[in-house]
Amino acid sequence: MKELGRTSLLLAALVAGALPGFAQTGKPSVEPPPPVAVEYSSKAWKEFSSAEGRFTVLLPGTPTPQVQTQDTAIGKLDVHTFTLTTSMQYGVMFVDYPRTMEDSGAAKQFLDGARDGGVKGVNGTLLEEKETSLDGHPGRIIKVRVGDGYVMRVKFYVVKNRLYQLGVTMWDKDAPEAAARFHDETAARFLDSFKLTSGPVGETSAQSGEAQGQASFVGTEGEVDRLLKRLREENKTVIGNADDAQAQQPSSVRGVVVSGGVLNGKAIVKPQPVYPTIAKAARAQGTVVVQIIVDEDGKVMAAQAVSGHPLLQAAAVKAAREAQLSPTRLSGKPVKVSGVITYNFVLQ
């Protein structure tokens, strides 16, 4: 258990230091935000979902994902981070440990370690702390003074053998009352929106997924759903087969989206997904189906997993986004295509 505690310190420090704009010294590398922030616009806030992370969260933009493998006293661990910089700096992280901390009764010790490591990792000063929970899983909320004028608000949870951590950092020095209130409301909007999606997390999910041999469906709105919704609102979309689309818009097919079914055969470039380390450890395998929308040039505009083992979905979606398909034309004019592309993961 001491090994786990020391590791949690290391990873919490790593993630705190990896939040956008922060060096290992904890000093922000960006200037104070401009007066007008994107966060003021309700349209900027969108739900981001991670199939592998099994969570959703509201963000005023699309975060950048990254995976870093860290050597620790208990072996190599993959640290997954999602970061976004606007007028503020957002970060979400999760990492899976070899065994559960929650059921062992050591959650408090583990969360203490995550708190201490996170504060130390940014050379910060702890201002506030209180206990919280997420769907019955224990957690903490902390507020940390960082550098000269910055404040970081962080939530972290222990869910079986997984540690989640999310934080937002903002310029807070000499902020007038209205700005301070806006900061509090923005932080709460982000931190309180974090939700776990379908299926248990961590070792339990890996074991049950293999034992049951069932496909897992992502139950949240994905980027394909959002793109189709936007296109419908713009009255640019017709969903159907090529004949239907051509019949409905014979003179102008630009903007039309037709159903293409399974698109594997139209792929010119189809990169193979990287087999996630955690999926291999859990002996997860099988077929992942990814829904995609392809633009008029054959490039993938949006992708989301619709079935397959949860530990394999993120890798399949990433590969699908990098695919290139042959363009589809109606009456000699290019159209968008909605369909699926499949990936088979087989353990060697």
Asked if pLDDT for residue 219 goes beyond 90, the answer is no
| Residue 197 structure tokens | 């999606």
pLDDT at 330: 75
Which pLDDT score, from 0 to 100, does residue 204 have?
35
Within 10 angstroms of residue 253's Cβ, the number of other Cβ atoms is: 22
pLDDT surpassing 80 at residue 46 = yes
Instruction: Please give the residue that has the higher pLDDT: either 249 or 315.
Output: 315
CB atoms within 10 A of CB 213: 9
Query: Does residue 66 register a pLDDT over 80?
Result: yes
The dihedral of CA 57, 60, 62, 63: what is its sign?
negative
What share of the chain has pLDDT > 90, as a percent? Answer: 21
Q: Which of 28-37, 72-81, 191-200, 286-295 has the lowest mean pLDDT?
A: 28-37
Question: In this structure, are residues 140 and 184 in contact, taking their beta carbons and an 8 Å threshold?
Answer: no
18 confidence band (pLDDT: 50, 70, 90) = very low
Q: Which of 20, 159, 167 is nearest to 93 (CA)?
A: 167
Angle, helices 2-18 vs 107-121, to 10°: value is 40
CATH number for the region 2-197 comes to 3.40.1000.10
Contact 217, 290 (CB under 8 A): no
Q: What is the mean pLDDT of the chain?
A: 75
Higher pLDDT, 192 or 88: 192
Two tokens, residue 105:
């009764």
CB 289 within 8 A of CB 307: yes
Q: What is the arithmetic mean of pLDDT over 164-175? A: 82
Mean pLDDT of 138-152: 86
Annotated domain spans of the chain: 2-197, 223-345
When pLDDT is cut at 50, 70 and 90, the band that residue 268 belongs to is very high
**Quick one: pLDDT at residue 130?**
93
Asked if the model's pLDDT at residue 207 lies above 80, the reply is no
Q: How does residue 261 score in pLDDT terms, banded at 50, 70 and 90? A: confident
Q: What's the average model confidence in pLDDT over 259-283?
A: 86
Mean pLDDT of 235-260: 56
Residue 262 φ/ψ, nearest 5 degrees: -80, 125
Q: How far apart are CA 111 and CA 8, in angstroms?
A: 8
Best CA proximity match to 94, nearest among 64, 144, 50, 126:
50
Class of domain 223-345: alpha beta
pLDDT in tens, 281-306: 778 889 999 999 999 899 999 998 88
